[in-house]
Amino acid sequence: MLAYIFRRLLYALPILIGVNLITFALFFIVNTPDDMARMQLGVKRVTPEAIEKWKADRGYDKPLFVNAAAGGVGTVTETIFFEKSVRMFVGDFGRADDGRDIAREIKARMWPSLAIALPTFILGLFVTVSLALLLAFFRATALDFWGVVLCVALMSISGLFYIIGGQYLIAKVWKLVPISGFGDGLDAWRFLILPVFIGVVSGIGSSTRWYRTIFLEEVSKDYVRTARAKGLAETVVFFRHILRNAMIPILTGVVVVIPLLFMGSLLTESFFGIPGLGSYTIDAINAQDFAVVRSMVFIGSVLYIVGLILTDISYTLVDPRIRFS
């Protein structure tokens, strides 16, 4: 198994290099650092000196790939590509425009993001799988029909509406929880209830419908008929046979997002003023802090690839037919 994981990690390396090259091309070749400087400084303050200073502050004043002037190892290392892209592989993301170290910022902001994303994920999974199981259990009845209609309606509502509407109704009109903010340690729970609740509700429509289709596909399989023919009760058929088999396709979609929970949610965090990675990204986008956006793209891809590897491992754990090969 260890050998398998090691091999998968090796496969992941070329993909990460690809991601790195794409982001590098996007940020430094589509636009030259001069263009970025001109845009950030605004029309009025553009002087050649100001552009040079902007570039020097960020280390963008070096050549892209080959620095012939530096000589020796410096020909390769003292370039934008090496300093800004290659060093990401060892966790060095450089500094944001406000001078702070991005890596340290990420380490600090990861936890508030996780505090929202993890409960939302677990509760959401529990609620939607239960609802889907309910609909599948009462398949082809009025409950199933109207349940699906409700799901389609729920998934047609914009995610923004859930957040804006929920915040207005629950926090402002009913005054049940604080509108936004975040506290230290255990005190944070008051601020977490509403975003978690809204996160769960906004996911109900599409997930329930998706899991219901998976359950229904299992229901029509032969082993289910065999189980019924043996005289097993319908509840036993559902919880012992169908639920366990349906977990395999459900796992594919679910395990892969677990590492990404660290990234938080852009919308939720910005609406509720949570100092996590999602709001960090949004602030960086609005302030056009290219270094931060670049780092987040890289980290997001790393986490996604970790998720893919975890998915493969979880397959072998739940499905004895699948072996490492």
Partner 1 sequence: MSGFQIVVLWSDILVWLLLAAGIGLGVLISRSPPLLAAWRRVGASRPGMASATVLLAFVLVGLLDSLHYRPALESQPGEQTQYAIEVLSVLDALVGPLRTENEKTYSSPLATHLHAKETTEVPGVGTVREFPRLKFGGVHLDDPAQRGGDVAMTALRAVGLAALVWLALAALVAARCGGWAAVWRGRTRFAWNAVLATLGAMLLVLLPVFLLAGDYHVFGTDKVGQDVLYQILKSVRTALIIGLVTTLVMLPLAVVLGIVAGYFRGWVDDLIQYLYTVLNSIPGVLLIAAAVLMMQVVIDTHPEWFATAAERADLRLLALCFILGITSWTGLCRLLRGETLKLRELEYIQAAQAFGVSNWRIILRHILPNLMHIVIIALVMDFSGLVLAEAVLSYVGIGVDPTMTSFGTMINNARMELGREPVVWWSLAAAFSAMFILVLAANLFADAVRDAFDPRAA
Query: Where does this chain touch partner 1 (CB under 8 A) — which range of 62-70, 111-119, 298-306, 312-320?
Result: 298-306
Query: Where does this chain touch partner 1 (CB under 8 A) — which range of 14-22, 48-56, 96-104, 312-320?
Result: 14-22
Name which of 296, 262, 295 is nearest 88 in CA terms: 295
**C-beta closer to partner 1: residue 66 or 152:** 152
- Angle (CA) 195-214-238 rounded to 5° is 95
Please report whether residue 301 would count as binding partner 1 according to CB under 8 A: yes
DSSP string for 33-99: HHHHHHHHHTTTT--HHHHHHHHHHHT-SS-SS--TTT-TTHHHHSSHIIIIIGGGGGT---B-TTS
Residue from 195, 297, 309, 314 in contact with partner 1 (CB under 8 A): 297
Query: Where does this chain touch partner 1 (CB under 8 A) — which range of 130-138, 188-196, 282-290, 317-325?
Result: 282-290
**C-beta closer to partner 1: residue 200 or 302:** 302
Orientation of helix 290-318 relative to helix 277-287, angle to 10°: 150
Cβ-defined contacts of 30-36 (< 8 Å, 24+): 33/58, 33/60, 33/61, 33/80, 36/60, 36/290
Beta bridge partners of 101: 95
Residue from 128, 281, 291, 309 in contact with partner 1 (CB under 8 A): 281
Query: Where does this chain touch partner 1 (CB under 8 A) — which range of 138-146, 183-191, 226-234, 261-269?
Result: 261-269
Beta bridge partners of 36: none
**C-beta closer to partner 1: residue 137 or 271:** 271
Cβ pair 194, 175 in contact under 8 A: no
Residue from 64, 260, 310, 313 in contact with partner 1 (CB under 8 A): 260
- Tell the smallest beta-carbon distance from residue 45 to partner 1 (Å): 14
Cβ pair 97, 91 in contact under 8 A: no
Taking CB under 8 A as the criterion, which residues in 164-223 touch partner 1? Answer: 164-165, 168, 172
Name which of 160, 159, 25 is nearest 81 in CA terms: 25
Interacting residue ranges for partner 1, rule: CB under 8 A: 14-15, 18-19, 22-23, 26-27, 30-31, 35-36, 38-39, 152-153, 155-161, 164-165, 168, 172, 260, 263, 266-267, 270, 281-282, 285-286, 288, 290, 293-294, 296-297, 300-301, 304-305, 308
